[in-house]
Amino acid sequence: MGQSILRSKILGTGSYVPEEVLTNKQIEKIVDTTDEWILERTGISERRIAPKGVGVSELSLPAAENAIKASGLHASDIDLVIFSTITPDSMCPSAACWLQSNLNIGNCPAFDLNAACSGFVYGLQCSDAYLRSGLAKNVLLVGADIMTRVADWTDRGNCILWGDGAGAVVVGQSDDESGIIDTITYSNGSEGELILIVGGGSKLTPISEEDVKSNAHLLKMNGQGVFKTAVKNFSDVSLEILEKNGMSLGDLDLFIPHQANIRIIEAIAKRLNLPMEQVVVTIKKYANMSAATIPVALDEQIKNERIKKSDNILLAAFGGGLTWGASLLKW
């Protein structure tokens, strides 16, 4: 075991979204809906679609390469790969192992983490723990999903929400006050059926013709139930992490929430009394990319120079499980 550290930090970020764009106007030809209806209820105008035959590890490769480059490290310096996803290339091996191979990282631990849309926040907590304990020095954390392949394209209230994309960060040792201040995560399995994909698990293996016909392999979501729970848990964990670390909402420079729905984002901002100018919103052009939404948004804010040295940044997410959590960073 290596020497433990006081704080870890994000050394570099990267993101990638597929080139193909699917607009609301195009979805009008697939299900009974309109561009105006989708935009008003979700805040989404378009989403990206992964190319046929491309798995999530391949989709995430540019994001991972860019994060490693931005960190100033080489692939050979990575000694742990954590891949947050609910749409892995295969049940076995993990997407993390496929990505490890594609990056020629060499022998090191690599595993997938399934916390749905909360996956990046969960992964950040894991990365921080590995670094603080001395079990790792440079962690590649990826949040990526190909959600359009598990969306039910016969359900007009479901299929409109999802998009494909990948974000990545390299987490390493901090040599100053910047870094991951804290992360808090929760889950409540008793509400697991609110967001559910049964197919692919052991309960329906092997998937039968009847299962496919009934769309058991696709995502099902109780929108109303999710909305109420999401807003409360989002807000509660955000306030909790600030209070725990002796901070208030006035100390925040930027809030990057999971991009589930514009109404959820606006409701959380209102409940936290945060002006929307401090809230990052990317859902209009990317839709809900599950574990990818936060790292993609984070990378874009850095590229757009919206994040400055010493900024206090709050990340918060909510997803299937049910899972939720928040991370507090000093840049």
With a cut of 70, say whether residue 331 has pLDDT above it.
yes
With a cut of 70, say whether residue 2 has pLDDT above it.
no
Domains of the chain as residue ranges with CATH: 8-176 (3.40.47.10), 181-330 (3.40.47.10)
With a cut of 80, say whether residue 3 has pLDDT above it.
no
74 is an active site residue: no
The SS3 assignment for 101 reads: helix
258 vs 106, residue with greater confidence: 258
For 130-147, what is the mean pLDDT? Answer: 96
pLDDT at 191: 85
Q: How far apart are CA 89 and CA 15, in angstroms?
A: 19
pLDDT at 198: 79
Q: How confident is the model at residue 274 (pLDDT cuts 50, 70, 90)?
A: very high
Which is catalytic among the residues 138, 233, 258, 312? 258
Yes or no: say if 47 and 284 are a contact pair by the CB < 8 Å rule. Answer: no
pLDDT at 219: 79
273 is an active site residue: no
Spatial CA neighbour of 122 closest among 79, 86, 91, 163:
86
Yes or no: say if 229 and 194 are a contact pair by the CB < 8 Å rule. Answer: yes
pLDDT at 4: 59
pTM of the full predicted structure? 0.95
Which is catalytic among the residues 117, 126, 138, 261? 117
The tokens describing 248, both together, are 């208030």
Residue pLDDT, tens place only, 73-130: 999 999 999 999 999 999 899 999 999 999 999 899 999 999 999 999 999 999 999 9
5 vs 285, residue with greater confidence: 285
217 is an active site residue: no
48-59 as b/e: b if 16+ CB within 10 A: bbbeeeebbbbb
